[in-house]
C-alpha cells in the first residue's frame, strides 16, 4: 500500500497528542493551568480512537491474508516489541514510584507483581501494543461474522463499557483492571471501524488531501467546540456522552489530518511513530525525576515546562527512527531478521496455507 500523506499526518498527530498527554499527566501541569487541562481533554478525545482506527485501516490486508502471514507480519512484531520493552517500563515506573510525589503502590514487590502480570494486565503505554495484537487475532477469528454485525456489537460494547463500567464495577476495580483490560472493550470498536472501512477511508483521505474544503474546517471547529464545552461543563465522563466524544474526536482528528496533510514534520512523526511511542514515557519520567530529585523543578510543572519537555522527547524518538531507516538498531522496534526468518520457516513447515 502506497503511503498517504494524510494518514501519516494522522498518525503523527495522534503520536504528538499521546506524548503531550503523558507529559501533562506526569508533570501535573494541568493542576496549574486550566488551558493545559482543556488541551489534555482535547487530546484524550482523539488520540486513541485515531490510533486504533488507523491501525485497523492499515491492517486490513494483513487480516485478509492467511493466518501465517498475519501472525508473522502483524502479531509477532507487536509481541516482540511488547516483551523487549518491558524492562524499560519497569524501570521508569519504579523510578517514578521512588522519586515523584503522590505515587501509589511504590514498593518493589508491587512493581514486580505488576511486571509479572503484564501479559494479562499490561502496565504503562505498552498496553496499546498488547491490545493491538489481541485485536488482530480476534477479528481473524471472527472473520465469518458480517462486518455490520461486528461493528454494531463492538460499538454497543464500547458505549456500555465507557458509560457504565465505572459505576457497576467501582473505581477501585476499574483501576485494578488497568488501562489494557479497560482498553480492550473500549477501543475494539474503533479498530473494527477502521478495518471494515479501510478502502473507503484510504480513498477519501487520499482524495481529500488534494481538495481541501471549508467543510473540513467546520468539522475541526465543531470537534474542538464540543470538547471544550464538555470540559467547561464537566460532562466529559458522563454516560453515553463519553462515547460520543471519542467518536467526535475521531472524526475531528481525521479531518484535521487531511487539512494538515502538507505539513512535512507531522508526516515525518507519523512515519516514526513507533520509536517515539516506545521511548517517550521513559524519557518523560526520567527528565521529571532528575529535575525533581535535584530540586531544580517542583511538581506540578508550569505549562511552558511541559511544552519544553515534549520538544525534547520527540526528537529522541525521531533520531531512533532515522537510525532504523539506515539499518541500525532496527531490532528495538521490529522483529530482528534472524527471528523473522526463523518464524517464517516454522510457519511454512507447519503446513498452514488456509486463506481468510
The 10s digit of each residue's pLDDT in 201-213 is 999 998 876 666 8
**DSSP string for residues in 69-98:** HHIIIIIHHHHHHHHHTHHHHHHHHHHHHH
* Least confident span in 5-9, 220-224, 350-354: 350-354
**DSSP 8-state class, residue 301:** P
Peptide bond into 300 cis (omega under 30): yes
pLDDT, tens only, 52-76: 999 999 999 999 999 999 999 999 9
- Tens of pLDDT, residue by residue over 153-200, are 999 999 999 999 988 888 788 888 999 999 999 999 999 999 999 999
Residue 34 banded pLDDT, cuts 50, 70, 90: confident
Tell if the pTM clears 0.75, that is, is over it.
yes
pLDDT of residue 124: 85
Q: DSSP assignment, residue 262?
A: T
- 56 within 8 A of 192, measured Cβ to Cβ: yes
Question: Length of the chain, please?
Answer: 356
**What's the CA gap between 314 and 318, in Å, rounded?**
6
pLDDT of residue 166: 83
Residue 351 has pLDDT above 70, yes or no: no
Do the beta carbons of residue 226 and residue 166 sit within 8 Å?
Answer: no
Tell me the per-residue pLDDT of 299-349, one tens digit each, with 9 for 90 and over. Answer: 898 889 999 999 999 999 999 999 999 999 999 999 999 998 998 888 776
pLDDT tens for each residue of 249-292: 999 999 999 999 999 999 999 999 999 999 999 999 999 999 99
- Dist CA 280 CA 259 (whole Å): 26
Give me the mean pLDDT over the 2-23 stretch.
95
Long-range contacts of 213-221 (CB under 8 A, 24+ apart): 216/255, 216/256, 216/258, 216/259, 217/259, 219/251, 219/252, 219/255, 220/252, 220/255, 220/256, 220/259
36 touches 289 (CB < 8 A): no
pLDDT tens figures, 85-129: 999 999 999 999 999 998 888 899 999 999 999 999 998 899 999
Residue with grid cell 498488547, as numbered in its chain: 130
Predicted local distance difference test score (pLDDT) of residue 325: 94
| Model pLDDT, residue 346 | 81
- C-alpha grid cell for residue 351? 503446513
| Strands (E) located in 107-243 | none
Q: Find cell 453515553 and name the residue.
A: 240
**Cβ 282 vs Cβ 240: under 8 Å:** no
Residue (of 318, 337, 317) closest to 327 by Cα position? 337
Q: What are 21's three cell numbers?
A: 498527554
Whether residue 228 is predicted with pLDDT greater than 60 in this model: the reply is yes
Q: Is the pLDDT of residue 354 over 60?
A: no
pLDDT at 22: 96
Amino acid at each position: 500500500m502506497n503511503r498517504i500523506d494524510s494518514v501519516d499526518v494522522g498518525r503523527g498527530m495522534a503520536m504528538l497528542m499521546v506524548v503531550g498527554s503523558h507529559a501533562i499527566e506526569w508533570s501535573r501541569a494541568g493542576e496549574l493551568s486550566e488551558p493545559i487541562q482543556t488541551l489534555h481533554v482535547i487530546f484524550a478525545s482523539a488520540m486513541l480512537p485515531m490510533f486504533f482506527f488507523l491501525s485497523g485501516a492499515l491492517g486490513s490486508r494483513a487480516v485478509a491474508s492467511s493466518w501465517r502471514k498475519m501472525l508473522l507480519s502483524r502479531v509477532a512484531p507487536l509481541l516482540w516489541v511488547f516483551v523487549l520493552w518491558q524492562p524499560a517500563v519497569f524501570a521508569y515506573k519504579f523510578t517514578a514510584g521512588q522519586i515523584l510525589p503522590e505515587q501509589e503502590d511504590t514498593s518493589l514487590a508491587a512493581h514486580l507483581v505488576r511486571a509479572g502480570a503484564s501479559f494479562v494486565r499490561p502496565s504503562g503505554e505498552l498496553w496499546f501494543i498488547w491490545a493491538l495484537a489481541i485485536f488482530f487475532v480476534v477479528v481473524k477469528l471472527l472473520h465469518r461474522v458480517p462486518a455490520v454485525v461486528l461493528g454494531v456489537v463492538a460499538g454497543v460494547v464500547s458505549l456500555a463499557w465507557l458509560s457504565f463500567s465505572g459505576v457497576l464495577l467501582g473505581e477501585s476495580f476499574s483501576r485494578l483492571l488497568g488501562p489494557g483490560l479497560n482498553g480492550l472493550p473500549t477501543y475494539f470498536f474503533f479498530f473494527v471501524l477502521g478495518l471494515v472501512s479501510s478502502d473507503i477511508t484510504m480513498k477519501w483521505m487520499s482524495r481529500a488531501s488534494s481538495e481541501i474544503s471549508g467543510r473540513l474546517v467546520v468539522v475541526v471547529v465543531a470537534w474542538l467546540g464540543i470538547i471544550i464545552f464538555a470540559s467547561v461543563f464537566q460532562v466529559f465522563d458522563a454516560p453515553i456522552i463519553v462515547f460520543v466524544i471519542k467518536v467526535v474526536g475521531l472524526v475531528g482528528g481525521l479531518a484535521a489530518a487531511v487539512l494538515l496533510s502538507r505539513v512535512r514534520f507531522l508526516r515525518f512523526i507519523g512515519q516514526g511513530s513507533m520509536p517515539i511511542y516506545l521511548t517517550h514515557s521513559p524519557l518523560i519520567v526520567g527528565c521529571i525525576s532528575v529535575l525533581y530529585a535535584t530540586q531544580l523543578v517542583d511538581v506540578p510543572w508550569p505549562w511552558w515546562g511541559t511544552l519544553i519537555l515534549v520538544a525534547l522527547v520527540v526528537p529522541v524518538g525521531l533520531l531512533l527512527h532515522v537510525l532504523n531507516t539506515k539499518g541500525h538498531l532496527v531490532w528495538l522496534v521490529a522483529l530482528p531478521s534472524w527471528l523473522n526468518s526463523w518464524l517464517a520457516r516454522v510457519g511454512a513447515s507447519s503446513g498452514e496455507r488456509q486463506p481468510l
